[in-house]
Structures are given as structure tokens and as C-alpha cells.
Amino acid sequence: MGSNIKIRFRIILYLLVMILIVLILRLYFLQIMSGELYAELASKNITREKTVAAPRGNIYDQNGKLIVGSVPVTAVAVEPHIVLKNEDVMKALSDCLDMSYKDIKEKLEKSDVSYIDRVILKKDIDAATMIYLKENSSNLPGVEVVDVYWRVYNFGVLASHLLGYTGEITEDMLKSEKYGDGYEGGDQVGLTGLEETYESVLKGKKGKIVYEVDPLGRPVNILEETSPTCGNDLYLTIDIDLQQFVEKILYQSILGVRQKKIKNTDECYNVPGGAVVVLNPQNGQILAMASYPTFNPELFVGGISQNDWDNLNDPENYYPLNNRAVMSFFPGSAIKIVTAYAGLAEDIISERGRLNCAGVWLGLGKDFPKSCWSSHGSLDIRGAIKNSCDIYFYQVGYGLYTKLDNMEELLQKYLRIFGFGSLTGIDLPHEDKGLVADKEWKKDYFKDQAGYSVWFPGDTVNMAIGQGDLLVTPLQMAQAFSILSNRGIQYTPYIAKEIRDIEGNLFVDNSREEYQDLKLNEYFIEIIEDGLVQVVGPGGTAATAFRNFPLDEIPVAAKTGTAEFYGRQDYAWFASYAPVGSPEYVVVVMLEEAGSGGSNAAPIVEKIYRYLFNID
């Protein structure tokens, strides 16, 4: 062999050594230098994590009656990004779930977004389907049989506005800080009512399963398993039997009022809706809260259908999702308790001072005559309340305006003291704070119409009888009457009193002992109370409704209200508490477009008192 060839063999030998060095260096880089990185990537590649739904906490009434519970339901969950790639799986699902291929595809395509890992395709599947899916799981990658929890409502539509409903979490919620942790796409969350307020209490803690999958996404091995923790239970101040009675009586009365014809016309009352609040003035506990029209929270279980949702939002149905007890309306004469107190406290009127009501009041000048709904003759403060004389209170309002030339806005000051214009702080979401108009508000509201932006004495005068720019919620009205009945002690109304864990151990005592003493003049309150008692007595504005009520046993203090609403029928109010002396209940009723409070709202309250005090 020539030396040339020997040299070439040597070159090949060097080449071989170099190749080995290059390969070994590459292996060193991959395995030793980046080993940890690749190990992490590899474990991400292989392991999957899935959550196990936790049963949502139950909701009980004050006597421990179960109102809302959670039941496990077998459901089919799919991972859209896996299943969408596999037509066979979608076909198989279409066959066994009795859903069309197109529906499945559409639903999955809609859910194939970054924030949803799994989507519930069908709930409440039968045993045969479940067994079929489990047995064929290896051929159905991305498909899983899971337990989810459904809300069951033992009392159907009862208290639906209080309870609220649950629904699938939205993308915006997932991105928000509140729902940032522990939530994932497809989760059920409380969307309104107590379900929303107490979401963190009710939701429980999800379990977790960490497992390994093969490249097709089929689980092969479980690495770690944590079981879910049940949500805590909520015990309410609500008496569900009372709630049931209140809702029934509200519904029946509204139907009854709708039959009535408006005086001197052929028109009937519309009464699109109404609300009732029953609370305990001694502690602020809401005993019943009703709003009509109502809705069935069961519609939301497992996702509401578009048709149902459209119905709930159709103006023809008067928006049943709205909780009218925390929405604001013109209060009408019911607000006169505050005007009366303000008048007494600011020395505009005295206990004995009388005023002659001739049906017309010219306090604002001859060009602005203001009329009363009747001609009452000579009245003192008690009589003015009993008869709800507008002229008396116009005079009080005007006096409050002129006292300091409305510099201090005295009427507004007392309205705010009684809680109007701000949230009561009840544990319900979407509470309306109402409106107590003042100079600032008017200036801002009419900033583009200079002629209207000035505060006129007439504004205060109107407000004094509950018209004008004054909006209050039935709950605020109940709170104001509660303050009155308590001689100035204010409690924050609330609904959930206890949070207990699954075994019934008290977890959080939510009842609120603290109160605020508004330091009101008790004597002035007693004067007003005298008037309020006469409202239901002979000759009072609600005399008819209470003519058969044993007022001597259960003295009732109440005020009617008939709020005018431009372009609509009058709104009927009736706010009350009983028994006078040791008040146990505050009951407020508000009916939209139902005429006079004395004739149409008062009978509802009378029936509720009969129920509460066990009077036949």
C-alpha cells in the first residue's frame, strides 16, 4: 500500500475522532448543560393537570330549611382543541349523545379559545351513555366523563331575586383580579344575588388531578390527586314560609289591582311590577324580600337557552330579572315622614301649629299655584300626616328652603340622615342608591341647559311631598321606617347571617350587632308616630285597608304614598311598622302603576301583618 493511501487512512481516523468529539459535545450540551430545561419541558409535554369540581355550598333559610342545594350530575366534557382535530371522535359523540354533528362542531369551535381548556358538551347523561363513553375512552381522546354540580331549587321560583343564579364564567371575569385565582373557563360562578355576593364562600375549593398522557392525550398514569373541598353553606335571615306567603300575596294582589278601573276612566291599572320588603327593625335582618315579576333560577342551570334569555330581557315581560326591592322609584307621600321630622327639628313647624288647607297653595306666588289632592281644612302635624295633606308639607318644604335661603339644603340633609341617596349596604349586588337631588346635582345634570340648572324653591317644595328629583328604593324606605320605629337607631339590613362548613360548624357569624345612633329627637318622632298610627285608623288614608285589623292589639304605624310619574300611572307605596311601642316588623310595599297607595298597596301590608301576627 502506498504511503499516500496510508496518509489518507490517517486522515480518516482523525475525521472519525473529530466526528465522535462533535457528537459527544452535542450530547453534553443537550443532556448535561440543558438537561434540566429539557426535563422540565418533557414533563410539561407529558403531564396534564385537570381540576375536579367542588360542590357549591347550600343555602338555608333562618330555620335551617334547604332552599338551594347542589347535586352531582354526570356530564361529558371535551377538550375542544383535541377533539376538533378528530372527526371520528366528533362523529362518535354525535351518535352516542344524540346531538347533531354540526351542533357539536359549532359548540366546540365557539369554545376553542385560549381561556377554555374543557367545555361541557352535554350534562345529565344516562348510565348507558356513561358506560359506553368510559369503555371507549381510549378511542375518544379529549373526551371525558366528569361530575359537575347542578343547582337545585327546593322552592322553585321563591326568593329568586335574593338567591340569584349561577352561570358560566365569562372571559372578562377570568381576566379580572377578582376571579383571577382558582377559576378556569367553563366554571360556574354566582352571577347575581347572594350567589354573587357570597361567591367566595359558596364556591369551595377545586380538587386537582395530575396525570400523564400519551401523545393522543389519553391518560395513562395518575401522579397526584387532591380531592375537592365543598363550599361553605349560607344560612339566611329569610323565613322561607314568610317569603312564600309574601310572594303569593304580592302576586295575587297585583292580579287583583290589574282588574281595577282607574276612577272616571275605562282604563285598568297596568301594575307591571312590585316589591315587598319585610325586615326586623331590631337588627336589620331581612325576613322576606319579594319582587314581581319573578323568574325561575332553574332556567340557568346548565346554561340558559337563548330563547329563555330573550324572554327574560323582553320589555313586554317587564324585566323579571330586576330586583325591584333595591331599585329606585319616586316615593310619593311616604317620604313625608322625613319632611315632617325636618320641619319639627328645624323649627319650621310646631306640634300645635295649624295650617288651613283650602285645596290650593300659593306659597310660590300666584303664577305657581300648587294644589292638594283634597281640601282638608285646618290641620296640625298629626292631621297632616294622617290625611297626607300636600299643602301642609309644601309649606314645610318652603320653610326649609327659605330658612337659610337653601344654603344648607336642610331637606336634603334630613333625607340623607334617614339613609336616602346612599346604599343601605345590604349584602346584595346591584343595589341602587337612589337620588336625593340638590343644587350641585342639578347644576351638573342640566349643565348643557343653563335655564334649568338653577335650584328653585319649587324644587324643594316638590321634594317635600316625594315628587321631584327624589328616587328611593323600597329597601331604603324600609330602613327609614326602621330608623323611625327605633327612635333613631340604624341597623344595616342584611340577608346572610351565618356561614357554616359542610358539617354545620359555625364558620363565620355574619350577624351584625353594630348599629348607628342617629341621635334623633325622640319627641318629634313620637309626634310623627302619632300621625302614622292615625293613617290606618278611622279617617286615615289607609283606613279602609285596616278597617278589620285588630289595631288595638297590634298598633300599626304607616304611611301611604301615591307617586306621580309623568306619562305613567301613579306608583303606589305603603310603608309601615308594627307593633307600635315595640316594633318587630317593618313592611314596605311598592307597586308600579297601581294608583293610590292607600287603596292598592295597603291591603297587601295588612295581609302580611295578619300572617306575621297570626290573625285570622
Q: Which among 304, 314, 242 has a CA at the least distance from the CA of 584?
A: 242
Which pairing describes strands 207-213 and 47-52: parallel, antiparallel, or unpaired?
antiparallel
For residues 199 and 406, give the distance between their C-alpha atoms in angstroms, rounded to a whole number.
45
Q: Does 12 bind another protein (CB under 8 A)?
A: yes
| DSSP-H helix ranges across 299-348 | 306-312, 336-345
The residue from 14, 23, 64, 538 that contacts another protein (CB under 8 A) is 23
Of 207-215, 243-251, 417-425, 454-462, which segment contacts another protein by CB under 8 A? Answer: 207-215
Taking the least distance from each CB to another protein, the nearer of 37 and 360 is 37
Q: Does 223 bind another protein (CB under 8 A)?
A: no
Q: Does 18 bind another protein (CB under 8 A)?
A: no
Q: Does 41 bind another protein (CB under 8 A)?
A: yes
Minimum CB separation from another protein for residue 224, in Å? 15
Helix/strand/coil for 540:
coil
Taking the least distance from each CB to another protein, the nearer of 18 and 506 is 18
Of 12-20, 174-182, 226-234, 267-275, which segment contacts another protein by CB under 8 A? Answer: 12-20
The residue from 13, 262, 404, 506 that contacts another protein (CB under 8 A) is 13
Of 21-29, 162-170, 274-282, 550-558, which segment contacts another protein by CB under 8 A? Answer: 21-29
* DSSP 8-state class, residue 199: H
Q: Does 255 bind another protein (CB under 8 A)?
A: no
Q: Which helix (H) or strand (E) holds 480?
A: helix 474-485
Of 42-50, 359-367, 470-478, 479-487, which segment contacts another protein by CB under 8 A? Answer: 42-50
Minimum CB separation from another protein for residue 142, in Å? 16
The residue from 14, 45, 156, 261 that contacts another protein (CB under 8 A) is 45
Taking the least distance from each CB to another protein, the nearer of 6 and 110 is 6
Cα end-to-end distance, the chain, whole Å: 128
Minimum CB separation from another protein for residue 1, in Å? 7
Minimum CB separation from another protein for residue 112, in Å? 16
- The mark string for 166-205 relative to another protein (x by CB under 8 A, - otherwise) is ----------------------------------------
Q: Does 4 bind another protein (CB under 8 A)?
A: yes
Q: Give yes or no for a contact between 281 and 585, defined as CB atoms under 8 angstroms apart.
A: yes
With DSSP H G I counted as helix, E B as strand and the rest as coil, what are the percentages for the chain, rounded to 5? Answer: 40, 20, 40
Residue at 303: amino acid letter: G
Residue at 27: amino acid letter: L
Of 24-32, 309-317, 321-329, 360-368, which segment contacts another protein by CB under 8 A? Answer: 24-32
Sheet with 274-279, strands from edge to edge, namely 286-292, 274-279, 585-591, 571-578, 557-563
**In degrees, to the nearest 5, what angle opens at C-alpha 363 toward C-alphas 361 and 364?**
115
Q: Which residue has the cell 324572554?
A: 311
Taking the least distance from each CB to another protein, the nearer of 100 and 139 is 139
Q: Does 506 bind another protein (CB under 8 A)?
A: no
Q: Give yes or no for a contact between 596 and 608, defined as CB atoms under 8 angstroms apart.
A: no
Cell triple for 402: 327659605
Taking the least distance from each CB to another protein, the nearer of 43 and 521 is 43
For residues 594 and 80, give the distance between their C-alpha atoms in angstroms, rounded to a whole number.
52
The residue from 103, 106, 135, 214 that contacts another protein (CB under 8 A) is 214
Q: Does 34 bind another protein (CB under 8 A)?
A: yes
Q: Does 14 bind another protein (CB under 8 A)?
A: no
The dihedral through the CA atoms of 295, 298, 301, 305 has a sign that is: negative
Minimum CB separation from another protein for residue 31, in Å? 4
**In degrees, to the nearest 5, what angle opens at C-alpha 114 toward C-alphas 108 and 119?**
35
Q: Which among 54, 59, 57 has a CA at the least distance from the CA of 497?
A: 59
Q: Does 113 bind another protein (CB under 8 A)?
A: no
Query: Residue 583 to residues 245, 498, 523, 572: CA-CA distances in angstroms?
Result: 21, 24, 17, 24
Q: Give yes or no for a contact between 73 and 247, defined as CB atoms under 8 angstroms apart.
A: no
The residue from 66, 82, 213, 423 that contacts another protein (CB under 8 A) is 213
Minimum CB separation from another protein for residue 231, in Å? 36
Minimum CB separation from another protein for residue 222, in Å? 14
For residue 579, cis peptide bond before it (omega within 30 degrees of 0) = yes
Q: Does 451 bind another protein (CB under 8 A)?
A: no
Q: Does 71 bind another protein (CB under 8 A)?
A: no
Q: Give yes or no for a contact between 557 and 580, defined as CB atoms under 8 angstroms apart.
A: yes
Q: Does 131 bind another protein (CB under 8 A)?
A: no
DSSP codes joined into one string, 112-175: -STT-S-EEEEES--HHHHHHHHHTGGGSTTEEEEEEEEEEETTTTTTHHHH--EEEPPHHHHH
Q: Does 554 bind another protein (CB under 8 A)?
A: no
Q: State which of positions 326-385 bind another protein (CB under 8 A).
A: none
Taking the least distance from each CB to another protein, the nearer of 89 and 379 is 89
Of 1-9, 243-251, 304-312, 512-520, which segment contacts another protein by CB under 8 A? Answer: 1-9
The residue from 14, 27, 102, 526 that contacts another protein (CB under 8 A) is 27
DSSP codes joined into one string, 361-419: E-TT-TTS-EE-SS--EEE-HHHHHHHT-HHHHHHHHHHHHHHTTTSS-HHHHHHHHTT
Q: Does 138 bind another protein (CB under 8 A)?
A: no
Q: Does 112 bind another protein (CB under 8 A)?
A: no
Q: Does 85 bind another protein (CB under 8 A)?
A: no
Q: Does 215 bind another protein (CB under 8 A)?
A: yes
Minimum CB separation from another protein for residue 7, in Å? 9
Residues of this chain that bind another protein (CB under 8 A):
1-2, 4-6, 8-9, 11-13, 16-17, 19-20, 22-24, 26-28, 30-32, 34-39, 41-43, 45-46, 212-215, 220
